Amino acid sequence: MAFALSSMLVTSSAFANHQAIPDKHAADHDDVSPALAWQGAPEGTQGFAVVCHDPDAPLVKEGTYGFVHWVLYNLPGDISSLEENTALGTVGANDFGNQGYGGPMPPEGHGTHHYYFWVLALDHQTALPEGLTLDELLREVEPNLLGMNRLIGTYQRH
């Protein structure tokens, strides 16, 4: 299946869709990942992956755009949420140059950015190695994608 939105609903107890992400989840504050929950995963889902991407970041590199804040995968198919600052799954590389979650931190004076928290439902449980980039993860999971959807949060430095 190609990448397309499914009917899966993604929510967070920290912020509503298209609303402000609390400071505690920002890179220049506590930098902890927000709690996420999802419902309506496609039938046959055996695993999940989660990605956070800021398409508003003024960066283009190697044919991609924006800024990757979180790549998390090898999540079991029997879960439907992640706690704040989760330790579940395997962490991939973010664009801060390290692994795991890196919260919002748009450039000073750059206005409000949008952060897309994607949940990808997969037809098998993955066992991918730690440290994959977003591009590497998407190449691995695309053939096994059953559905995906996102929660969009906003953040502005102050």
Does residue 129 surpass a pLDDT of 90?
A: yes
Residue 67 lies in a domain: yes
Residue 24 lies in a domain: yes
Residue 157 lies in a domain: no
Residue 4 lies in a domain: no
Sign (positive/negative) of CA torsion 49, 126, 86, 84? positive
At 65 the pLDDT is: 79
At 3 the pLDDT is: 63
Residue 90 lies in a domain: yes
Q: Which domain holds residue 140?
A: 9-152
What are the residue ranges of helices labelled H in the chain?
A: 134-141
Does residue 12 surpass a pLDDT of 50?
A: yes
Does residue 62 surpass a pLDDT of 70?
A: no
The two structure tokens encoding residue 51: 């990605």
At 80 the pLDDT is: 97
Q: Residue 101, class by beta-carbon neighbours within 10 Å (0-12 exposed, 13-18 middle, 19+ buried)?
A: buried
CB 31 within 8 A of CB 22: no
Does residue 1 surpass a pLDDT of 70?
A: no
Residue 1 lies in a domain: no
Q: What is the largest CA-CA distance in the chain?
A: 45
* Residue 75: CATH number of its domain: 3.90.280.10
DSSP 99: B
At 2 the pLDDT is: 52
Count of structural domains within the chain? 1
Say what the pTM is.
0.94
Does residue 32 surpass a pLDDT of 70?
A: yes
Residue 153's H or E segment, with its range, is strand 145-155
Distance between CA atoms of 141 and 124, rounded to whole angstroms? 9
* pLDDT tens, position by position, 66-79: 999 999 999 999 99
Residue 119 lies in a domain: yes
Residue 73 lies in a domain: yes
Residues 6+ apart with CB under 8 A from 158: none
